[in-house]
Amino acid sequence: MPEGPEIKRAADALNAALTGAKVSRIYFAFSHLKRFEKKLLAAKIISVRSRSKAVLTEFDNGLTIYSHNQLYGRWQITPDGDYPSSSRSLRLAIHTRDTMALLYSASDIEVIRSAHLDQHPYLKKLGPELLAEDTRPENLVLRFEDPQFQRRQLMGLLQDQRFISGMGNYLCCEALHISRIHPCARLVDLEKSQRQRLAKNCLKLIRQSYKTGGITNLITRARGLHKQGVKFEDYRFHVYRRDGLPCYRCETTIVKGNYAGKMGYICPTCQTKTSS
């Protein structure tokens, strides 16, 4: 599933392509949304932005399209014209005079009154937005000290959008690794300095991933591997999808396993349950 950085980059591209333009045609695949095609025709697009893993497309008539890519959803931006050939199912198409934005495969799409966005079942429960400009390290440190979250295993907690917003599986694995924390540990099991380190690393990695298009590895290491001809997917991570390969820090073989009901990757030496 795309995580916060990928969704925000998609929203940025949509915002650049659509904002300020009027809708010349719009298509919804779902019958319960068809009635909004007339209501959105000729509406001006005010902005496209992300919140956690959702994209919000706001119009000047007081309506907003909420879409969540879920596991397979994908946006495509092309010059207006014929739809490109695709094996995916087209769920939403927004046309302007020059451009069309196409959402494939996603099924979680709604049209909501913009004034009521904060009451949406998903949006109203979101924790601090890690990619929001006003989220500071001290905000995350306080969140990680909150008593209500202390007893959940971190592999599940860090991916719960109600705790912190924007992280998914790869960011969780990477943040736990560079923080030297086992995914089955709980916040209550950690020293205060470990909680602070983890909070800051979550913020650091998600923002680095957003800026670099998905790199959570050390930037200098990633650049060096790229110059050596290593493929992007093979140099972007510390541990994620690197099972069977040596840890960059200690050369122990990285393992893939199930932690708190979720698949993940760790270095058994760097991330013992008592690592510090």
SS3 letters across the chain: CCCHHHHHHHHHHHHHHHCCCECCEEEECCHHHCCHHHHHCCCEEEEEEEECCEEEEEECCCEEEEEECCCCCEEEEEECCCCCCCCCCEEEEEECCCEEEEEECCCEEEEEEHHHHHHCCCHHHCCCECCCCCCCHHHHHHHHHCHHHCCCEHHHHCCCCCCCECCCHHHHHHHHHHCCCCCCCEHHHCCHHHHHHHHHHHHHHHHHHHHHCCCCCCHHHHHHHHHCCCCHHHHCCCCCCCCCCECCCCCCECEEEEECCEEEEECCCCCCCCCC
163 and 260 part of one domain? yes
| 128 belongs to a structural domain | no
Name the maximum alpha-carbon separation found in the chain: 60
Q: Determine contact, residues 264/174, Cβ cutoff 8 Å.
A: no
User: Pseudo-torsion of CA 52, 58, 63, 66, nearest 10°?
Assistant: -30
Tokens 């790229």 belong to 226
- Domain of 172, CATH number, reads 1.10.8.50
11 and 117 part of one domain? yes
Beta bridge partners of 257: 264
Q: What is the pLDDT of residue 274?
A: 67
- Produce one character per residue of 21-52: b if its CB has 16 or more CB atoms within 10 Å, e if not: eebeebbbbeeebeebeeebeebebbebbbbb
Q: Of 123, 158, 182, which residue is a domain's last?
A: 123
| 192 belongs to a structural domain | yes
Q: What is the pLDDT of residue 255?
A: 98
Domain count, the chain: 2
Q: Above 80 in pLDDT, residue 21?
A: yes
51 and 163 part of one domain? no
212 and 113 part of one domain? no
Mean pLDDT, rounded, for 217-232: 97
Token pair recorded at residue 209: 């991933």
| 162 belongs to a structural domain | yes
172 and 116 part of one domain? no
Q: What is the pLDDT of residue 70?
A: 85
Range of the domain at 226: 137-266
| 86 belongs to a structural domain | yes
258 and 141 part of one domain? yes
| 177 belongs to a structural domain | yes
Burial-class residue 80 by CB neighbours within 10 Å (0-12, 13-18, 19+).
Answer: middle
| 257 belongs to a structural domain | yes
174 and 258 part of one domain? yes
119 and 228 part of one domain? no
| 16 belongs to a structural domain | yes
Q: Above 90 in pLDDT, residue 275?
A: no
| 272 belongs to a structural domain | no
52 and 171 part of one domain? no
35 and 107 part of one domain? yes
Q: Of 63, 90, 123, which residue is a domain's last?
A: 123
Query: If pLDDT is split at 50, 70 and 90, which confidence band does 183 have?
Result: very high
Q: Above 60 in pLDDT, residue 19?
A: yes
pLDDT tens digits for 83-120?
999 999 999 999 999 999 999 999 899 999 999 999 99
| pTM higher than the cut 0.85 | yes
112 and 149 part of one domain? no
Q: Of 66, 98, 123, which residue is a domain's last?
A: 123
Contacts of 61 (CB under 8 A, 6+ apart): 39, 40, 43
233 and 260 part of one domain? yes
Mean pLDDT, rounded, for 127-132: 96
- Domain of 52, CATH number, reads 3.20.190.10
